[in-house]
Copies of this chain bind each other. A is one copy, B any other.
Amino acid sequence: MKRLSSKSGCAVEVTLSVMGGTWKPIILFHLMHGPKRFGELGRLISGITQRMLTLQLRELEDAGIVLRTVYAQVPPRVDYALTPLGHSLQPVLVALRDWGNNYARSQGQESGVSADGHTDHTDIEKKCL
């Protein structure tokens, strides 16, 4: 993600550069439920490579979204948890998820879609992975 440049200065871009992409939203979703260990996340997120998980977590950490806690013990243990700033992303993720569900439904039945953005509020917990 390297779009913070003089492209547009658009706030939407800022948000997407922080939590957009293939893996970050999924990681954040899992962390919404509480702190997770590295291997735990790797097992929860099907298809992600160790490399990608590391890189994405680092970016989230640098952005101040997640907090990385290393326990000096054997075997090593590292916890990842959301910061308050990270938790503040929940409404955004919910909006994205709701629209996605609505879109999937409209594509599925090919019927008209109301412009009022109405969606059922299925909970955030079970809809992702």
| Residues in A lying within 8 Å of B, measured CB to CB | 2-16, 18, 20-22, 25-26, 29, 45-47, 64, 84-85, 87-93, 95-104, 106-107, 112-125, 127-129
Contacts and interface: CB of A to CB of B under 8 A. Distances in A.
Contact of A102 (B12, B88, B116, B117): B88
Contacts of A25: 10, 12-13, 16
Copies assembled: 2
Contacts of A106: 64, 85
A113 B128 contact: no
A22 B41 CA distance: 28
B88 A12 contact: no
20 contacts: A2-B115, A7-B22, A7-B47, A8-B45, A8-B46, A8-B129, A10-B100, A10-B124, A11-B96, A11-B97, A11-B128, A13-B26, A13-B100, A18-B100, A84-B114, A85-B106, A85-B113, A88-B102, A92-B96, A95-B96
